[in-house]
Amino acid sequence: MDVLPVGIIRVFTTEDQKILHAHGNKIEKLYNLGCINRCITDQPKGIYDVESEHEAIPKIVELAKEMEEKHAVDGIAISCAADPGLELVRQAVSIPVVGAGSCAAHMAKTISNKIGVLTIANEVPAPMIEIMGDSLVSWRKPEDVNNTADLLKEEAKEKSMSSAKELINDGAEIIVFACTGYVTIGFGEMIEDQLGIPVIDPVEAEGNMLSFILRGE
């Protein structure tokens, strides 16, 4: 089976190669895709408000065009739960483009109408809310977790686990991560092991959809 090249767009600035490749490495391991990993420039804090999103979107579009032209990728993932620039990127390139948030939300809907969302922000990304509709039964943000960096602190796992339990108490039958930072700390496996509830990981979701649309598997 050929290893198809795909582009993974990280929506913040990093020179740490391990962090840059984290999503791509997971996708390569699961789906036999060859990931070209790139981050946007001059935004070390990534996207955290309307202004930073507006600043990021043209850079995301340019990265996507570069990936199609120079690296001849067969598909692109915007690897962020907020799907920044998804429609503009689709207009700019001729290959399939997916966003982590919409992939995760659609996959959750496919198997459940009682979805709980774990986020790090004070809201769930708008595209995810629109997709899940009434199936979004609850969302929670762990105490003292306000950005991706906070998830790397030791106490974050315990606080995130409390939030996951609250989601189950609220009636959730499946948990979706509205931040790819939960993937970085391996929190999906922890929830499945300790709480026995399925988790939709947005990085796995985008990898799965690229694999499905490019190869039918």
Q: CB of 11 within 8 A of CB of 30?
A: no
**What are the b/e assignments for 154-179, b being 16+ CB within 10 Å?**
eebbebbbebbeebbeeebbbbbbbb
User: Per-residue x/- mask for a copy of itself, residues 119 to 158, rule CB under 8 A?
Assistant: ------------x---------------------------
Scanning 12-20, 50-58, 147-155, 207-215 for contacts with a copy of itself by CB under 8 A, the matching segment is: 207-215
34-53 residues near a copy of itself, rule: CB under 8 A: none
Structure tokens at 15: 């020179």
E strands in the chain:
4-10, 33-39, 75-78, 97-99, 115-118, 136-140, 174-177, 199-200
Angle at 48 between CA 45 and CA 52, to 5 degrees: 80
Contacting residue, 93, 97, 167, 183, with a copy of itself by CB under 8 A: 97
**208 touches a copy of itself (CB under 8 A):** yes
**115 touches a copy of itself (CB under 8 A):** no
Measured from the CB of residue 34, what is the shortest distance to a copy of itself in angstroms? 17
**191 touches a copy of itself (CB under 8 A):** no
Q: Which residues bind a copy of itself (CB under 8 A)?
A: 30-31, 87, 96-98, 102-103, 106-107, 109-111, 113, 131, 188, 198, 201, 204-205, 208-209, 212-213, 216-217
